[in-house]
Amino acid sequence: MASEREHFNLSGPLHLTYVDWKNADHRRSIAACLVQGVYILERDRQENRQGPEALAPPWWEFFHFRLHSQLVDDADHSIFGAIYEFKPASDCSHLLINGTPLYVIAFRGTLTKGDAFLRDLQLDIHIIRNGLHQTSRFEIAMRAVRNTVAAFGNSNILLAGHSLGAAMAMLAGKTMAKTGIFLEAFLFNSPFLSAPIERIKDKKVKQGIRIASSFIAAGFTVALKARQRRNLSEDPFMALSAWVPCLFVHPDDHICSEYIGYFEHRKKMEEIGAGVVERLATQNSLGGLVMSAMGKESEEPLHLIPSANLVVNLFPAQDMKQAHGIHQWWRPDLNLQSKVYSYR
């Protein structure tokens, strides 16, 4: 039996009777709903809900989108993504204004119900091991992104994802940015894999740990580059610095809350005159540096990015499940704090 949260008329943002695509709250809410549409597409598939019984269509039709295509995992045939096309009715052509994405590529996160769970769990493990780029699901996603960009241009496309899906969108966005193509991206509760320093209440202890970690990471970086005879001035973040995805996080969500400390610490290091140290440290994880020092190949950590518009939801969450959920992002009563961090 479908839960209340699967029904758009029961849990969707019905207050958005008029959509202003220049309004940041509207853009965030719609992007989150399109991601929710992917979740419900897969639930419809699992429950064999078709035709008038399908619950997914209202999640995009309410905002004048149509389902262009589904992205299906070749391992378990689950629907993990969707491409939506903006198609306003003839009497709503005024909605097609600057800033309206003509195509949205959305990715869902991990489903705990149904036969997709085991495959999703495998992908979650790949994120932890920095191996998401090697999976067939990501190859399918990346091919869809490249084909859509080639057909319709990057200025008309928006990436969106939640949790595991945000990691997919993050990796796709970084991959495209390295080629000079910068896609608008809305990343909800994207995983940040590191020690949960942000949970420490004492600010001085937390700051001390971060500063020490930065100097250790910077030292490792200098030593490894010297051993590998690489130029210390090489900065892999520079190619990505112009890409500024929107990161949506909740302080009580331990999966993504480290982004708050990650960017604030970078700013603090600049203020105390240790910007050079932090520019070396921010590009690497300590775990990856240790692996490299041991002679083992280590991929670039997925979660490390140079620039972002960090949006923090300060509305109290009842529990971790609510803090990590996609539903929070279309509530009309959110207390949001937004700040753009640019890599220099």
Q: What is the pLDDT of residue 98?
A: 57
Residue 298 has pLDDT above 80, yes or no: no
Please give the pLDDT value at position 234. Answer: 59
The answer on pLDDT for 15 being more than 80 is: yes
176 pLDDT higher than 50: yes
Q: How many CA atoms lie within 13 A of 161 on its CB side?
A: 25
What residue type is 2 in one-letter code? A
Higher pLDDT, 228 or 29: 29
Residue 312 structure tokens? 């923090």
* pLDDT value of residue 41: 98
The model's pLDDT over 34-54, given as tens digits with 9 standing for 90+, comes to 999 999 999 999 999 999 999
Q: 121 vs 228, which has greater pLDDT?
A: 121
Residue scoring higher pLDDT (143 or 286): 143
CA distance 112 to 60: 23
Say what the pLDDT of residue 200 is: 58
The answer to whether the beta carbons of residues 150 and 210 sit under 8 Å apart is: no
Q: Edge to edge, what strands does the sheet with 184-188 contain? A: 65-72, 79-86, 103-107, 157-162, 184-188, 246-249, 308-313, 336-341
Q: Which two tokens stand for residue 35?
A: 């991601």
| Confidence category of residue 197, pLDDT binned at 50, 70, 90 | low
* pLDDT score for 130: 87
Asked if residue 17 has pLDDT above 90, the reply is no
Longest dimension (CA), the chain: 65
Instruction: Please list the helix, strand and coil fractions of the chain in percent, rounded to the nearest 5, in that order.
Output: 45, 15, 40
What is the average pLDDT value for the chain, to the nearest integer?
A: 83
pLDDT per residue as tens digits for the range 107-151: 999 998 888 999 999 999 999 888 999 999 999 999 999 999 999
Residue 223 pLDDT > 50, yes or no?
A: no
pLDDT, position 301: 78
pLDDT value at residue 113: 85
Q: Which two tokens stand for residue 51?
A: 């035709």
Q: Percentage of the chain surpassing pLDDT 90?
A: 61
